[in-house]
C-alpha cells in the first residue's frame, strides 16, 4: 500500500505542491547541522499527532523554483538525503492517500559567497586565509610567522606555472601555515577526508578548487588573473568562491 502511495505522489511533475489534502502543514523544518556531514543532509521537523499521520515525505529541489523531487519517506520527524549539490528541502505529511494541505516552509544548504579578492602577483608567494565571519579572503606574506595562511599561490620557475599549495605545505619557507587540503576535482561535492587520490600536495592555479580547512569547514574557490600591466608586467590574482557554513558538509552550488 505504501509503495502505491509513493507512486501516486511521485507520478505528478511537481508532486510536492500538486497533491494536497487535509492534513496539517508540517512546521519546524530545520537542518540538523550536527548530523549533516559529508554529502548527507539531515532535516528534522516538528512531529504531528501520530493518530493523524502515517509518515512524512522529505522533498528536495535545487533552486527556489521548479519541481520538488522525493528524497526520502520517513516514519518519524527526521530524514536524510545524499546530495550531489546544495539544495532546498521541505516536508509534507501523509496518511493513506491524504496529505498535507500545503508544503512546509523550506530550508536550504546554500553556501555563503566569498567576496572577490584581487592581489598583485609579482612572482613572490602570496598567502590567503578565509575570514569566516566576513565571508572574505585575507592576503598576506606566508613567510611571516604571524600570518597563518590556509593556502599559498606561488610561481614554479622550473615549469613556469603558478601553483596552489596547502597552508602547511612548506613549513621551512611558509612557517605559519594551517593544516589544510586542496583538490582540483570537479563537481559540487568536495572529496571525502579519506580520499587520498583527489586531495593533492599542489594543484595548478586557475579554475575551481576545493579547500578543506583544519576547522572542519569546506570551501569551493575559483582562481583567475588579470592581464599583465604594460609597465610593470605584473598582474593580479583574482579569487572568489563559496564557503559552506555547516561544519563538515561538503556540498556546494552554482554561483
Q: pLDDT tens, 42-83? A: 999 999 998 899 999 999 999 999 899 999 999 999 999 999
Side by side, which strands form the sheet with 30-31? 30-31, 40-44, 78-82
More confident: 110 or 234: 110
Q: Which of 18, 31, 140 has the alpha carbon at shortest distance from 90?
A: 31
- d(Cα 246, Cα 240) in Å, to the nearest integer? 19
pLDDT (mean) for 136-144: 97
More confident: 158 or 230: 158
Domains and CATH numbers, the chain: 2-108 (2.60.40.10), 112-243 (no CATH)
Secondary-structure percent of the chain, ordered helix, strand, coil, rounded to 5 = 5, 40, 55
**Highest-scoring range by mean pLDDT, 13-22, 85-94, 227-236:** 85-94
Round the average pLDDT of the chain to a whole number and report it.
Answer: 92
3-state secondary structure at position 191 = coil
What pTM does this model have?
A: 0.91
Cβ-in-10-Å burial (0-12, 13-18, 19+) of 224 comes to middle
Q: Kindly report, residue by residue over 8-25, the tens digit of the pLDDT.
A: 555 444 567 766 799 999
pLDDT (mean) for 218-222: 98
Q: Kindly report, residue by residue over 93-134, the tens digit of the pLDDT.
A: 999 999 999 999 999 999 999 999 999 999 999 999 999 999
What local confidence, expressed as pLDDT, does residue 20 receive? 76
Within 14-104, residue ranges assigned H as helices are 15-18
Percent of the chain residues topping a pLDDT of 90: 86
Please list the residues that pair with 165 across neighbouring strands: 152
**CB crowding 156-176: b at 16 or more within 10 Å, else e:** eeeeeebbbbbbbbbeeebeb
Q: Which helix (H) or strand (E) holds 2?
A: helix 2-10
Q: Which of 18-27, 29-38, 82-91, 119-128 has the lowest mean pLDDT?
A: 18-27
Amino acid at each position: 500500500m505504501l509503495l502505491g502511495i509513493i507512486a501516486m505522489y511521485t507520478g505528478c511533475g511537481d508532486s510536492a505542491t500538486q497533491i494536497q489534502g487535509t492534513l496539517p502543514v508540517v512546521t519546524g523544518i530545520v537542518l540538523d547541522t550536527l548530523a549533516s556531514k559529508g554529502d548527507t543532509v539531515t532535516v528534522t521537523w516538528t512531529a504531528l499527532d501520530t493518530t493523524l499521520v502515517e509518515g512524512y515525505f522529505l522533498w528536495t529541489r535545487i533552486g527556489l523554483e521548479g519541481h520538488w523531487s522525493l528524497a526520502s519517506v520517513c516514519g518519524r520527524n527526521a530524514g536524510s538525503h545524499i546530495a550531489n549539490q546544495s539544495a532546498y528541502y521541505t516536508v509534507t505529511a501523509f496518511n493513506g492517500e491524504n496529505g498535507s494541505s500545503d508544503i512546509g516552509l523550506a530550508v536550504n544548504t546554500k553556501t555563503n559567497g566569498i567576496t572577490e579578492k584581487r592581489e598583485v602577483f609579482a612572482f613572490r608567494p602570496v598567502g590567503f586565509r578565509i575570514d569566516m565571519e566576513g565571508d572574505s579572503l585575507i592576503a598576506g606574506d606566508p613567510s611571516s610567522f604571524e600570518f597563518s595562511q590556509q593556502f599559498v599561490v606561488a610561481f614554479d620557475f622550473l615549469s613556469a606555472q603558478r601553483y596552489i599549495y596547502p597552508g602547511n605545505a612548506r613549513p621551512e619557507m611558509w612557517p605559519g601555515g594551517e593544516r589544510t587540503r586542496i583538490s582540483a576535482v570537479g563537481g559540487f561535492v568536495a572529496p571525502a577526508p579519506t580520499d587520498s587520490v583527489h586531495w593533492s600536495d599542489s594543484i595548478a592555479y586557475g579554475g575551481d578548487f576545493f579547500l578543506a580547512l583544519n576547522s572542519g569547514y569546506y570551501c569551493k574557490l575559483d582562481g583567475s588573473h588579470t592581464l599583465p600591466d604594460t609597465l610593470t608586467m605584473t598582474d593580479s590574482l583574482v579569487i572568489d568562491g563559496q564557503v559552506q557554513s555547516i561544519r563538515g558538509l561538503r556540498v556546494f552550488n552554482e554561483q
